[in-house]
Amino acid sequence: KAGVTQTPRYLIKTRGQQVTLSCSPISGHRSVSWYQQTPGQGLQFLFEYFSETQRNKGNFPGRFSGRQFSNSRSEMNVSTLELGDSALYLCASSLAVGQKYFGPGTRLTVT
């Protein structure tokens, strides 16, 4: 069974731009969660989608948004990028509940 895939793997953007990251979950998994990993803060929860609905949301500003499609694939968008948004963005999928399987992440650098 293929694992969680994330595209792109690396991205460089300029302050003020926006970015869209994509996540394809493991086949059959309907829950997709997004986490931000930074050296100072560890992994912080962004949001979780299940059956195209946002089920949980972390404490991030409204510049961070996401969505899930009918095939369970998910995208997250960050608008008006700031230097502090530079991080590894991780996507995790799971069945409705239970163990989360992480993708390799997208490394975003904001200059």
Partner 1 sequence: DQQVKQNSPSLSVQEGRISILNCDYTNSMFDYFLWYKKYPAEGPTFLISISSIKDKNEDGRFTVFLNKSAKHLSLHIVPSQPGDSAVYFCAASPDSGNTPLVFGKGTRLSVIA
Residues of the shown chain interacting with partner 1 in the complex, contacts defined by CB under 8 A: 4, 31, 33, 35, 40-45, 48, 50, 55-56, 58, 90, 92, 94, 96-105
Which tokens sit at 10?
């690396």
Residue 38 C-beta: closest distance to partner 1, Å? 9
- Which lies closer to partner 1 via its Cβ, residue 67 or residue 102? 102
DSSP string, 74-91: EEEEE-S--GGG-EEEEE
Residue 93 C-beta: closest distance to partner 1, Å? 11
Residue 24 region by backbone torsions, left for phi larger than 0, else alpha for psi between -120 and 50, else beta = beta
- Which lies closer to partner 1 via its Cβ, residue 73 or residue 101? 101
Residue 7 carries which DSSP code?
Answer: E
